[in-house]
């Protein structure tokens, strides 16, 4: 069925025969791209939300590195190069160990770049909710439950960032302080965007979501 739809769209996309009016005037047809024809409004909305999510993630990673320069020094790279490396890897490489990677940032004996580990896991949580796609078409299927679960997992990741401390009571990663809540705001925007998209997808696909709420006494990562 999908191949038939694609074939039909290809025929439409390739048809650029001009329209000739009775008076002889020629009206060229608009040059549609297949990518435009095959997109639904939901696909466009999903792409916008994903782009916003990646922007929030990039801003968060940059803030964490600036607040924790010792982690950046472990990489031996400058900030721009390290960020490019992080997003080139984490947005394209699927991994079933996303949560394990994130949790390395809070392991006492972890000697590598904790910001990189935390952000690699966080980016993986978000990208997995989009099936690691960056473009969406009419025959692609987004899962509202998976997107909703990702928002709850971001809440857990935010809680870990704020609450995880070493044996001396020092945070593994310095983030929110009473005079600087920009990390909390960035994560809040990310959660809100994922929740909004989950609601839209559920409504458009007529699928129900199993609404789960994280509480202070039960902060666990959900399946994704």
How far, in Å, CA of 169 to CA of 172, rounded?
9
- The angle formed by the CA atoms of residues 208, 130 and 95, to the nearest 5 degrees, is 120
Q: At residue 34, does pLDDT exceed 50?
A: no
How far, in Å, CA of 107 to CA of 95, rounded?
20
Length of the chain: 224
What lies within 8 Å, CB to CB, of 211 at 6+ separation is 148
The rounded mean pLDDT for the chain is 82
Confidence band of 83 (pLDDT split at 50, 70, 90): very high
How far, in Å, CA of 172 to CA of 68, rounded?
9
- What region does 173 belong to: left with phi over 0, alpha with psi -120 to 50, or beta? beta
Contact 115, 121 (CB under 8 A): no
What lies within 8 Å, CB to CB, of 21 at 6+ separation is 27
How far, in Å, CA of 136 to CA of 49, rounded?
12
Structure tokens at 97: 């160990």
Structure tokens at 137: 């078409």
139-174: per-residue pLDDT in tens?
Answer: 568 899 999 999 999 999 999 999 999 999 999 999
103-138: per-residue pLDDT in tens?
Answer: 999 999 999 999 999 999 999 999 999 999 888 776
How far, in Å, CA of 172 to CA of 32, rounded?
51
- Write down the H helix ranges in the chain: 2-14, 34-37, 41-67, 69-75, 79-90, 98-103, 114-129, 144-163, 182-205
Highest mean pLDDT pick, 19-33, 48-62, 85-99, 135-149:
48-62
Q: At residue 53, does pLDDT exceed 90?
A: yes
């Amino acid at each position: 069925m999908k191949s038939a739809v694609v074939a039909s769209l290809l025929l439409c996309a390739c048809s650029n025969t001009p329209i000739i009016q009775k008076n002889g005037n020629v009206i060229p047809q608009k040059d549609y791209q297949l990518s435009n024809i095959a997109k639904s409004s939901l696909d466009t909305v999903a792409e916008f939300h994903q782009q916003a999510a990646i922007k929030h993630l990039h801003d968060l990673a940059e803030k964490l590195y600036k607040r924790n320069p010792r982690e950046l020094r472990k990489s031996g790279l400058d900030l721009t190069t390290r960020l490019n490396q992080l997003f080139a890897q984490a947005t394209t490489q699927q991994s079933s160990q996303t949560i394990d990677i994130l949790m390395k940032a809070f392991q006492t004996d972890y000697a590598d770049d904790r910001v990189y580990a935390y952000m690699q896991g966080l980016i993986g949580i978000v990208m997995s909710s989009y099936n690691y796609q960056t473009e969406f078409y009419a025959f692609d299927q987004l899962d509202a439950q998976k997107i909703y679960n990702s928002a709850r997992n971001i809440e857990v990741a935010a809680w870990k960032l704020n609450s995880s401390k070493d044996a001396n009571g020092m945070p593994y990663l310095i983030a929110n302080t009473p005079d600087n809540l920009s990390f909390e705001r960035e994560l809040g925007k990310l959660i809100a965007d994922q929740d909004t998209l989950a609601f839209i997808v559920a409504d458009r696909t007529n699928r129900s979501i199993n609404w789960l709420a994280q509480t202070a006494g039960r902060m666990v990562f959900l399946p994704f």
